[in-house]
């Protein structure tokens, strides 16, 4: 007999310090004694946002006012199958309280331990650990300057960066990426390879790839293993939806602001309202890209982004 799917609305509430609200499950319930991201079952005929609002009012005494789809996770436990419909809550009315006698606390995602949460929550934790800042290499005529920049990012403890060199042919890009990746493998910096220019399937040391919208169209499924980052650039809802179907881990949504490059002038810039609207159409961690600067981080987070990405701003910004 097939198990019935349990649809659960999950809310990841963030405060102004980028901490996340978690609550402790009572020991007499399923997965009791573990920490969780608050939420509950979606009732028949109820939409997910309504379920979130109801559950958060009942459990925590707060009313979400800004919510964004973040991730959907299908998980099979030994006794049930659950679909976690995860949403980011960036603004709310009220002060959180454990109205059902549960312990609650604010904690940064970096402090989360897998074993303290139900197994189905692990992809949420991974997504929440994505860095606030994601640097992209500028186009360069020599490798030495890129090496110097990567060492700067390593010292600044950036977690993920994209090795983008559009001006290079495939052979030279591969040569440069191997050298750059060897440098980063000795540190905690994950370097994303250009999926169109690098033979990532032949290199087990690659920890992440990035593809552009044109490459997304050519894919029929996720091209890398689950433990390898799969990122993509998107500019509209159609591209975002395709990225979601292909199992992309996170996207760059651009251009948020005009930056003068020919490609971005042709695309036209998004407003923050446009960014927010598009971010609400898919369950994908999304970075704001294109003309953004460090002071834009708070606005980006409020609008549903997980962080900001860019080129020039990261010559001095530290994560």
Per-residue pLDDT of the chain in tens (319 residues, 90 and over written 9): 456 888 999 999 999 888 999 999 998 877 789 999 999 999 999 999 999 999 999 999 999 999 999 988 888 877 778 889 999 999 999 999 999 999 999 999 999 999 999 888 998 999 999 999 999 999 999 999 999 999 999 999 999 999 999 999 999 999 999 999 999 998 989 999 999 999 998 899 999 999 999 999 999 999 999 999 999 999 999 999 999 999 999 999 999 986 655 554 555 689 999 999 999 899 999 999 999 999 999 999 989 999 999 998 887 534 3
CATH of the domain at 9: 3.90.79.10
Verify that 119 and 138 share a domain, yes or no. no
Which residue, of 70, 104, 128, is where some domain finishes?
128
Range of the domain at 239: 133-315
- Reported pTM: 0.85
* Rounded-to-integer distance, Cα 79 and Cα 3, Å: 8
Strands 307-310 and 63-76: unpaired
Answer for the pair 34, 112: CB distance below 8 angstroms, yes or no.
no
Verify that 163 and 298 share a domain, yes or no. yes
Structure tokens at 283: 């369950």
Verify that 221 and 304 share a domain, yes or no. yes
Verify that 87 and 186 share a domain, yes or no. no
* Rounded-to-integer distance, Cα 286 and Cα 234, Å: 10
Q: How many domains does one find in the chain?
A: 2
Verify that 185 and 309 share a domain, yes or no. yes
Verify that 96 and 239 share a domain, yes or no. no
Which residue, of 128, 157, 186, is where some domain finishes?
128
* Rounded-to-integer distance, Cα 98 and Cα 173, Å: 54
Verify that 285 and 146 share a domain, yes or no. yes
Verify that 268 and 309 share a domain, yes or no. yes
* Alpha-helix runs per DSSP H in 138-286: 143-155, 170-185, 213-218, 237-245, 262-267, 272-279
Backbone angles phi, psi at 268, to 5 degrees: 80, 145
CATH of the domain at 137: 3.20.20.70
Verify that 39 and 75 share a domain, yes or no. yes
Verify that 113 and 163 share a domain, yes or no. no
DSSP, res 257: S
């Amino acid at each position: 007999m097939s198990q019935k799917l349990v649809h659960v609305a999950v809310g990841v509430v963030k405060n102004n310090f980028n901490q996340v609200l978690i609550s402790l499950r009572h020991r007499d319930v399923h997965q009791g004694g573990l920490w969780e991201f608050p939420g509950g079952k979606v009732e028949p005929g109820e939409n997910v946002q309504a379920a979130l609002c109801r559950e958060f009012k009942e459990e925590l005494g707060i009313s979400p006012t800004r919510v964004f789809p973040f991730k959907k996770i299908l998980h099979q436990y030994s006794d049930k199958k659950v679909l976690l419909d995860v949403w980011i809550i960036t603004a709310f009315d009220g002060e959180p309280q454990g109205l059902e006698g549960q312990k609650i606390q604010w904690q940064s995602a970096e402090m989360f331990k897998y074993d303290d949460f139900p197994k189905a929550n692990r992809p949420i934790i991974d997504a929440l650990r994505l860095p606030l800042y994601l640097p992209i290499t500028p186009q360069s005529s020599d490798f030495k300057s890129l090496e110097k920049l990567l060492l700067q990012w390593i010292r600044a403890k950036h977690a993920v960066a994209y090795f983008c060199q559009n001006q290079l042919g495939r052979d030279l890009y591969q040569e440069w990426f191997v050298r750059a990746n060897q440098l980063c493998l000795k540190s905690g910096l994950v370097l994303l390879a250009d999926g169109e220019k690098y033979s990532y399937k032949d290199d087990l040391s690659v920890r992440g790839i990035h593809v552009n919208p044109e490459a997304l169209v050519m894919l029929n499924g996720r091209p890398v293993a689950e433990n390898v980052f799969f990122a993509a650039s998107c500019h509209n809802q159609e591209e975002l939806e395709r990225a979601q179907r292909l199992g992309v881990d996170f996207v760059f949504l651009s251009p948020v602001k005009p930056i003068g490059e020919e490609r971005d002038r042709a695309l036209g810039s998004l407003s923050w309202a446009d960014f927010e609207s598009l971010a609400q159409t898919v369950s994908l961690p999304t970075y704001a890209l294109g003309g953004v600067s460090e002071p834009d981080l708070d606005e980006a987070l409020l609008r549903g982004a997980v962080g900001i990405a860019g080129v020039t701003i990261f010559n001095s910004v530290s994560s």
